[in-house]
C-alpha cells in the first residue's frame, strides 16, 4: 500500500520538475530564442531579414540568447553527406553560415554576415553571397577554409543533430523556439513570447507596449504563414487520397441502398 506521505512527495517531485521544465530562464535570467532554418527557404530568409533584426533594435539583446541553427529540412545520407531541400546551393550556404557562426561566435558579427546572405537570397541574388565579406569588411579566409574542409562538414552534422534532437520535432522552417517552446505559425509574433517568458524585473521598454502585451494568438495564427515543409507535397497527396476513399465509400453506400 502506498502511504499518503509517499504520494505527497511524489506530487512534490512532479511539481518541481514540472515548474523547472516550464521556467528554464529563471536560472540565468535570459530567454533563449532559437531559430531552426535553411538558407534558401524564402520564408526563413524573410524572417531573418524582416523580423529577427528587431531584437537588435529594442534593447532586447539584454534579455535574449539567440541561437541560429542552419540545417532545416536537409536529410542526412550515408557517408555523412546530405541532401538539402533547395538543392546544392542551399547545402553550400548552410555550411557557409554554420562556419560563420563557429568562427565569429559573437552574435552581431555572424548575424550581420548571415543577414547579408539571406537578404541576397531573398532578392534572388544568392550567387553573389561572397560580396558579403567585402560589404561587411570581413576576412574571407577563415570561412572559405572552413566550408571547403572537413570542419564545415562537422559543423553541418552538429547542427543536424541539434535539429533532429528537437522535442517536439520541427515540422517546417522557419521553426522558432522560445525557452524550449515552439511558436509554430505564430513565429512572427516572437517578441511577445520573449517578453512573456522573461522572468527578470528589468524588462526592456518594448515589453510594456500594448502590442507586445497582447495574449498569445497561436490559434488565430494557424494558416497565416507560409513555410518550407518537406512533407507538404506528401500530406496534400494523402488528403486527396483520403477524400477519394471517402467518396468511394459513400458511393458504395449509395449503391448498396
Ligand X SMILES: *[C@@H]1O[C@H](CO)[C@@H](O)[C@H](O)[C@H]1NC(C)=O
- The residues binding ligand X (CB under 6 A) are 78-79, 139, 141-142, 154, 157-158, 161
**Distance from C-alpha of 190 to C-alpha of 250, rounded to nearest angstrom:** 45
We find the least distance from the C-beta atom of residue 77 to ligand X, in angstroms, to be 7
Nearer to ligand X, 108 or 134 (CB): 134
We find the least distance from the C-beta atom of residue 139 to ligand X, in angstroms, to be 4
174: phi then psi, degrees, rounded to nearest 5: -70, 140
We find the least distance from the C-beta atom of residue 150 to ligand X, in angstroms, to be 11
Nearer to ligand X, 81 or 249 (CB): 81
Nearer to ligand X, 122 or 155 (CB): 155
We find the least distance from the C-beta atom of residue 127 to ligand X, in angstroms, to be 23
> Strands (DSSP E) along the chain, which ranges?
31-37, 64-70, 75-76, 82-83, 175-178, 181-182
**Distance from C-alpha of 184 to C-alpha of 195, rounded to nearest angstrom:** 17
Lookup result for grid cell 502506498: 2
Residues 6+ positions from 87 with CB-CB distance below 8 Å: 40
Nearer to ligand X, 3 or 139 (CB): 139
Amino acid at each position: 500500500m502506498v502511504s499518503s506521505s509517499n504520494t505527497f512527495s511524489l506530487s512534490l517531485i512532479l511539481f518541481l520538475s514540472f515548474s523547472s521544465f516550464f521556467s528554464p530562464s529563471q536560472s540565468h535570467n535570459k530567454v533563449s530564442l532559437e531559430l531552426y532554418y535553411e538558407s534558401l527557404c524564402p520564408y526563413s530568409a524573410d524572417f531573418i531579414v524582416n523580423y529577427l533584426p528587431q531584437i537588435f533594435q529594442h534593447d532586447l539583446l539584454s534579455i535574449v540568447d539567440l541561437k541560429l541553427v542552419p540545417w532545416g529540412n536537409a536529410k542526412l545520407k550515408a557517408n555523412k553527406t546530405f541532401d538539402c531541400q533547395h538543392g546544392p546551393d542551399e547545402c553550400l550556404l548552410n555550411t557557409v553560415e554554420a562556419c560563420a557562426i563557429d568562427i565569429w561566435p559573437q552574435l552581431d558579427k555572424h548575424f550581420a554576415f548571415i543577414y547579408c546572405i539571406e537578404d541576397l537570397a531573398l532578392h534572388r541574388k544568392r550567387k553573389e553571397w561572397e560580396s558579403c565579406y567585402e560589404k561587411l569588411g570581413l576576412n574571407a579566409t577563415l570561412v572559405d577554409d572552413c566550408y571547403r574542409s572537413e570542419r564545415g562538414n562537422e559543423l553541418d552534422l552538429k547542427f543536424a543533430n541539434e535539429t533532429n534532437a528537437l522535442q517536439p520535432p520541427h515540422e517546417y522552417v522557419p521553426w522558432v523556439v522560445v525557452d524550449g517552446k515552439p511558436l509554430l505559425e505564430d513565429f512572427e509574433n516572437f517578441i511577445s513570447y520573449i517578453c512573456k517568458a522573461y522572468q527578470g524585473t528589468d524588462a526592456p521598454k518594448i515589453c510594456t507596449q500594448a502590442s507586445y502585451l497582447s495574449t498569445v494568438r497561436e490559434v488565430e495564427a494557424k494558416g497565416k504563414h507560409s513555410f518550407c515543409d518537406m512533407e507538404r507535397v506528401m500530406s496534400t497527396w494523402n488528403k486527396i487520397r483520403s477524400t477519394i476513399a471517402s467518396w468511394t465509400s459513400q458511393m458504395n453506400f449509395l449503391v448498396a441502398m
